Amino acid sequence: MTSLVLASASPARRALLRSAGLEPVVQVSDVDEEAVLAAAGAAGQAPDPADAVLLLAHAKAQDVAARDLADLPGLPDADDALVVGCDSMLELDGEAYGKPADAADAVARWRRMRGRSGVLHTGHWLVDLRPVEDGGSGGTVGGVSSTVVHFADLADDEIAAYVATGEPLAVAGAFTVDGLGGPFVTRIEGDHHGVVGLSLPLLRELLAEVGVPLHTLWRR
């Protein structure tokens, strides 16, 4: 049976997949994100935020796909696996923001974001490890989910209280829609799954490109 390997430590991404009937096997990548983006810039290809998340998602998926997954706990057959990597950033005023460096950075970020809107970009990359002779596609495909996020006009004490929880420090853009940050997002335009960290509709499309209907991966 084909398995989905998630190249991410994000509990939100794993929970999202599980809520959709999938049971991913987690194998976290070792990609140095700053080094990947710096290398792209040095090559004269400084990526915009949407390109950056796709580049990082590709690097994460390929990093895990290149490993020997035979002994990965929970993976019944490494030769019948699909690897998906993701990365998210918030674009605000043309700049890309990942996870805040520290609490002070998170506070400053929220003071810029409050009462405004930004675009949350989530890159996805899928690698098909199934042998072609056994029906695999040998494919490696990707795409980006971009969603406009409108933020509430938070008071300073609300920002301080939210940052004190620690949640903003662990997520791209310094906010969540599925956690404590939910009340601070007034509306979104686009796929809310992508804001959580993984677009289920886009994943379905990528799986279809390699010949795997998403429903065939539902838990039995």
DSSP the chain: --EEEE----HHHHHHHHHTT--PEE------HHHHHHHHHHTT----HHHHHHHHHHHHHHHHHTS--TT-TT-S-GGGEEEEEEEEEEEETTEEE-S-SSHHHHHHHHHHHTTSEEEEEEEEEEEE-S-GGGT----EEEEEEEEEEEE----HHHHHHHHHTSGGGGSGGG--SSSTTGGGEEEEES-HHHHHT--HHHHHHHHHHTT--GGGGS--
Residues serving a catalytic function are: 87
